[in-house]
Amino acid sequence: MINQDPLAWNGCRRNDKRKTRLGHPDTPDVPLKTWIKTCVPTFSQTTDDCVGMGWSNWLENMLREYVGMDAIPDGFQINGNAIWFKIKQMFYNGVLSGGAYVEEGFEALKELGWIPKDSMLVNVGIDWVSQGEALLETPLVVAHMVYPGWFTPNKENGCLDHVYDENRREGGHCTCRIGRVKQNEKNFFLGQNSWGEDWGWNGCFLMDEIMDLGTSLDSPYTVTIPGGFQRLRDIEGWKAGLISTPGATQQIRM
């Protein structure tokens, strides 16, 4: 029997209030793009803080793309756990157990002063084309129901085991979507996970389009900033969220 109680999920909760605002599924496909070059390999999370990790990975990519590749010093990364703590402080009276909604992570980023206060959260269409359109400018924060195949991804390319039993759900999880790829005429999304560099391919994974649709908790999320993403250059609050990760490489190994 599947446990439908969100309090039992492992880090990310389902929100049934979907509001798709960006995307045109009836338009032709757009160019493939990945954000591999701007990714900072993450340390392995130890609590239910995947929503914080997803947003920290998103912010790392955005800072290195729109502020500069040296915005985050070598050996450092954004503290996703601090985002989760702020979520718990703002929405759960400081109770440090259970997961959170992706939208709450966005509000925590603003409250921390790591992105402009007038930033706006945007839902992206769940279809292949709409996500591809959004990925041209920004990574996406996504939420999925995890299945056993997540725990044994292919080490060579990070591909998940796409044969899954719908009665074996392991809980909700949040990751950062960093691209789309095509292999053997099949559509795959490329994601950055928060389970350490040794998981999958340098901490990254491939999920095919069918599994994405079948296991998604919500439509993907991103952020728009009035005046453009270059405004991140005027924000310095995120520097307080930098933490040292001794021994970690600064860029994903190609």
Asked if the model's pLDDT at residue 2 lies above 50, the reply is: no
What tokens appear for 239 in the block? 């520097």
What digits encode the pLDDT tens for the residues 66-120? Answer: 999 999 988 899 999 999 999 999 999 988 888 899 999 999 999 999 999 999 9
The mean pLDDT value of the chain amounts to 88
DSSP letter (8 states) at residue 146: E
What digits encode the pLDDT tens for the residues 185-199? Answer: 899 999 999 998 889
As assigned by CATH, the class of the 33-244 domain is alpha beta
Distance CA 137, CA 66 (A): 10
The one-letter amino acid at 108? A
pTM of the model: 0.92
What tokens appear for 22 in the block? 């960006």
Distance CA 156, CA 37 (A): 18
DSSP letter (8 states) at residue 174: E
Distance CA 149, CA 246 (A): 30
Distance CA 220, CA 115 (A): 19
Higher-confidence residue of 97 and 9: namely 97
Asked if the model's pLDDT at residue 8 lies above 90, the reply is: no
Residue identified by tokens 């002063």 is 113
Instruction: Delimit the domains of the chain by residue range.
Output: 33-244
